[in-house]
Amino acid sequence: MVSELINANPVVYEKKERRVRSTPSCADEYAAEPIDQLEIFDHLRDIKDPEHPYSLEELKVITEDAIEVDDSNSYVRVTFTPTVEHCSMATIIGLCLRVKLMRSLPSRYKVDIRIAPGSHATEAAVNKQLNDKERVAAALENPNLVDMVDECLAPTNGLAG
At residue 159 the predicted structure's pLDDT band, cuts being 50, 70 and 90, is: very low
Indicate the pLDDT class of residue 136, thresholds 50, 70 and 90: very high
Question: Is the pLDDT confidence value at 138 over 50?
Answer: yes
Question: What tens digit of pLDDT does each residue of 23-37 get?
Answer: 555 555 666 778 999
Which pLDDT value is given to residue 34? 85
CA distances from 137 to 47, 61, 155 (A): 20, 24, 24
Angle at 98 between CA 76 and CA 32, to 5 degrees: 45
Q: Calculate mean pLDDT across residues 112-137.
A: 96
Distances (CA, A) of 46 to 70, 132, 146: 23, 25, 18
Sheet with 67-70: list strands edge to edge. Answer: 67-70, 75-80, 110-115
| pLDDT surpasses 50 at 64 | yes
Nearest partner of 79 among 102, 92, 106, 61, judged by Cα: 61
Answer yes or no: pTM beyond 0.75: yes
Q: Can you tell me whether residue 62 is helix, strand or coil?
A: coil
The reported pLDDT for the residue numbered 33 is 78
More confident residue, 159 or 35: 35
